Copies of this chain bind each other. A is one copy, B any other.
């Protein structure tokens, strides 16, 4: 095509500038949509860009501007759970939607094992992303602190405690659980058990509190033998259900803190010869695909997960770009709580 120098290579800013008959700075301004450029020059530059098929070199941009145009979605779970739990797919979708309009890349990071966690920490300390979305954080997790130390803007989903310092998006777990229990009471159930998530997850604890409060509000005593702690897995739900049946054979309803655990519970109930909902009513949490496909279809508390993902991403973007001007950094910020909704199906 052309003689010397570059030839095969992709066009650079400088070449676009030459073509448009302007300076490098001007092209950069046009590309970044910023400040004052006359309509005329702008048009000329844009023409040159299309003619040459110019695409900015991301590495150069990152180096010069000291940013990465990338954020990480960190999911501290093993791969298996990531795919098994539809929760994550919705988060990813929401985050993706919020990012679609921007030129920001999403880096998905699973870190289930300790080894992977270390790799991740190393990766993050390389400052290769401008911000981090942290999903499903357990209580003792050192990751959030690390991020604060590194000064990387972070938004987490699900506060770690009542006094969360990081900006955070949550659903109203307590009220959602309470609604589920009220629904069971309304249906005339008398002995309502619950299967909780791991209690070092704040959200799981809130759901348990919702269960307790709803019972208390209805003037029912809370029998601790009706509470079984599990771990959000199907197998855990199964084990918990077995325990519950042993301890309180007379139960006639179960509120599980996740659909997947409800699926486990269902298997165990069926094995024990209990019919759903005739003998035992079952309610889950998440309203995931699992819920709709269960037999019978599962009543479940629907979290606006996708919206949560979208909100998180938007909050993070604001901090990332806001942080450049103001000195906001990682500092504590607003928290958003979204409402849940009970979806009633045949299992209750």
Contacts and interface: CB of A to CB of B under 8 A. Distances in A.
A56 interface: yes
A55 interface: yes
Nearest to A68: B59
A60 B128 CA distance: 11
A92 to B, nearest CB: 7
A83 B79 contact: no
Nearest to A59: B62
Given A63-B63, A295-B295, A126 B58 contact: yes
A118 to B, nearest CB: 12
A132 to B, nearest CB: 15
Nearest to A89: B83
A60 B64 CA distance: 9
Interface string A58-100: 1110110000100000000001001110100100110010001
Given A84-B289, A89-B83, A126 B55 contact: yes
This chain: copies in complex: 2
A280 B229 CA distance: 41
Contacts of A125: 53, 55
Dominant secondary structure at the A interface: helix
Given A58-B126, A128-B58, A93 B107 contact: no
A220 interface: no
A278 interface: no
A115 to B, nearest CB: 9
A93 B122 contact: no
A252 B56 CA distance: 60
A79 B95 CA distance: 12
A161 interface: no
A322 B96 CA distance: 34
A57 interface: yes
A55 B126 CA distance: 6
Contacts of A56: 126
A105 interface: yes
A247 interface: no
A79 B63 contact: no
Contacts of A289: 84
A10 interface: yes
A108 interface: yes
A187 interface: no
A293 to B, nearest CB: 9
A127 interface: yes
Contacts of A83: 83, 86, 89
Residue among A59, A63, A126 with most chain B CB within 10 A: A59
Interface string A25-69: 000000000000000000000000000010111111011000010
Interface of A: 10, 53, 55-60, 62-63, 68, 79, 82-84, 86, 89, 92-93, 96, 100, 105, 107-108, 110, 119, 122, 125-128, 289, 295
5 contacts: A59-B59, A59-B60, A83-B83, A84-B289, A108-B108
9 nearest CB pairs, A to B: A59-B62, A83-B89, A59-B63, A55-B126, A59-B59, A60-B63, A63-B63, A79-B93, A58-B128
